[in-house]
A = this chain, B = another copy of it.
Amino acid sequence: MGEQNRVWKLVRRPVGNDYAAAVELVAEGVPDLVDGDVLIRNAYLSLDAGTRMWMSAREDSYSPPTPLGSPVISTVLGTVVDSRHPDYRAGDLVRAYGQWADFSVSRPDEVYVERVSRRLDDPRQHLAVFGANGWTAYLGVVEYGEARAGETFVVSAASGVTGALAGQIAAQVGCRVIGITGSAEKAAWLTGELGFDAAVNHRDGDVAEQLRALCPQGIDVYFDNVGGPILDAALGNMALFGRVAVCGLLHNYGREGRVPGPERFDQILMKRLRFTGFFSPDFYHRGPEVNRVLRPWYEAGKLRMRFEVTDGLEHTLIAYGTLFSGAKVGKALVRLADPLD
């Protein structure tokens, strides 16, 4: 097509959190399509903690690693500009597995590509409430966590996109909701704008003690995004027959070698707990069903989100770093020039 396509390519495996040394921004032509491809002009890149799993060649990772020399894989929102697939045509708005690039080339028969509505009031919500984060939050709360009205619900990394949605969804289910986060400002966002019942700042004293004071009857559902010492603090405060929805182990990512397991693992027996690990690509096909449940809550203003939008593909790497520094609140996106034209 003659147009330029800038692409972030994986040039070596990241060591720890050093992504800057692992990727390079390369300018090349927009690739030619072959049968079955669609070409997407990326409007937004979704910045997700899981992306680095693809970058790594970690043993037992849940995703096959991206080959060195290939573009970094990412969920994107954008407009189909050319299609060699019979079910997609130019002008379609799609959410897809694409690339950190101006344009994504995706093969709908092989990877996730879904047409989405242009009528949503805020199209960024296709990558938040109504995308994988929303589905993960909803199924984590309702199915894996089995949250019920009147229960006490605790979520870690609560000011992240999935945590913030999980807490708001648990509130809609009728739970008392407590978020664990890393600053007073984030805690204030949770209990203010998002309506959490309480928040724990893990930099503000012992988390186990704070949880004990807030949950005298114990935690019925713990939605975990982090693992590590915060998981242990929660495990020491579980109620009998509590559920632990294991959504992420942020504490482990980027660490070399093996990481010790939870010291309070014995609580699974003492309190007869259920732990369930889950991973959104397993339930992408349930997105439409989940979105039908989320929509009225969203329209009633009950599922709020903050977006941290970085402009320009060239700033992707800097924006990605904020996911792990604790600086980010809500959903991090990269906005490309002229989105959604």
Contacts and interface: CB of A to CB of B under 8 A. Distances in A.
Contacts of A246: 268-269
A62 B265 contact: no
A303 B62 CA distance: 38
Contacts of A274: 274-277
Nearest to A268: B277
Interface string A86-121: 000000000000000000000000000000000000
B249 A269 contact: yes
A60 B259 contact: no
Interface string A29-44: 0000000000000000
Interface residues of A, number: 32
A315 B62 CA distance: 53
A271 interface: yes
A61 B266 CA distance: 9
Interface string A245-287: 0101100100000111111111111111111111100100000
A295 B209 CA distance: 49
Given A249-B266, A265-B265, A274-B277, 16 more contacts: A60-B236, A60-B266, A60-B270, A227-B265, A227-B266, A246-B268, A258-B264, A261-B261, A261-B263, A268-B275, A272-B276, A272-B277, A273-B277, A274-B274, A274-B276, A275-B276
Interface of A: 60-62, 227, 236, 246, 248-249, 252, 258-279, 282
Top 9 closest pairs, chain A to chain B, by CB = A261-B261, A268-B277, A261-B265, A261-B262, A275-B275, A269-B277, A62-B270, A274-B276, A258-B263
